[in-house]
Amino acid sequence: MLTTEQTQYVKDESIKAYPHEIIFLLTESKGLYKVSNIADDTTKEFRVSTTDMQQALTENLLAVIHSHPDFEPCPSEADMHSQVALDVTYGICATDGINATNINYWGGGIEKAPLLGRGFIHGIQDCYSLIKDYYESELNIELNEFPRSWEWWNNGQDLYSLNVEKEGFIRVYEPEIGDMIFMQIRSTVPNHGAVYVGNDLIMHHITSTKAVDETRISTQEPIFRYQNFITHYYRHKSMFE
């Protein structure tokens, strides 16, 4: 999305703004520039003024980039809602006031990482993201995004169970290639998803104890290793046709 120089500028300005979140907009006609954060608590959230956003939209808004002081470079639930509403690329740079991470991007226009071997980034490259990307690339089925907080299953949310039927899935009792698998791992609700890829293998992206962990990669594993955690199998309605 950005040049090396622009990326360094975002990192430097994010450090300077610490402990406040800083906002950058990237537009086709004006390039990259900062705008004011008008949130009530700028140390925990960001908000762009209506005037700034309307101006950016007239300039053909390409991306919204902001910093995360003292948290990982991954989206919050509010960030995900905002990205879905605007339907443009979003980016996050994390900083502790001394150093800053590279920018993690998500949303429209971003090339997806390969299904296997991608690092874990909550909300961008996690277990649901892998399922969503698999269905799009391998089955030509577009699933909706569901904004979620880190460790949502511990915060009163039940994203898989509440949305599976809305997305057109029907429960089955023996898996076939392309079926989605729900698991319940140290949780009161299904909190992990996988795809059955045949030959007694699943493809999944197991969560880490950290919201961002590039060493925790998506992989294929024998289904029997997770048999005790599996609660449901689901098949998309289009696969019955």
Cβ 89 vs Cβ 109: under 8 Å = yes
* Of 66, 122, 127, 236, catalytic: 127
Catalytic residue among 122, 204, 205, 232: 204
Specify whether the CB–CB gap between 63 and 18 falls below 8 A.
no
Is residue 192 flagged as an active site residue? yes
Tokens of 164: 């599976």
Scanning the structure block, which residue is given the tokens 């960001």?
46
Q: SS3 breakdown of the chain: % helix, strand, coil, rounded to 5? A: 25, 30, 45
Question: Is the Cβ–Cβ distance between 144 and 167 less than 8 Å?
Answer: yes
C-alpha triplet 90, 70, 114: angle, nearest 5°:
40
Type of residue at 233:
Y
**Distance between CA atoms of residues 212 and 125, nearest Å:** 9
- Answer whether the bond into residue 114 is a cis peptide, omega within 30°: no
Q: What is the DSSP string of 45-107?
A: -----HHHHHHHHHT-EEEEEEEEETS-SS--HHHHHHHHHHTSEEEEEEE-SS-BPPPEEES
User: Annotated catalytic sites, by residue?
Assistant: 127, 192, 204
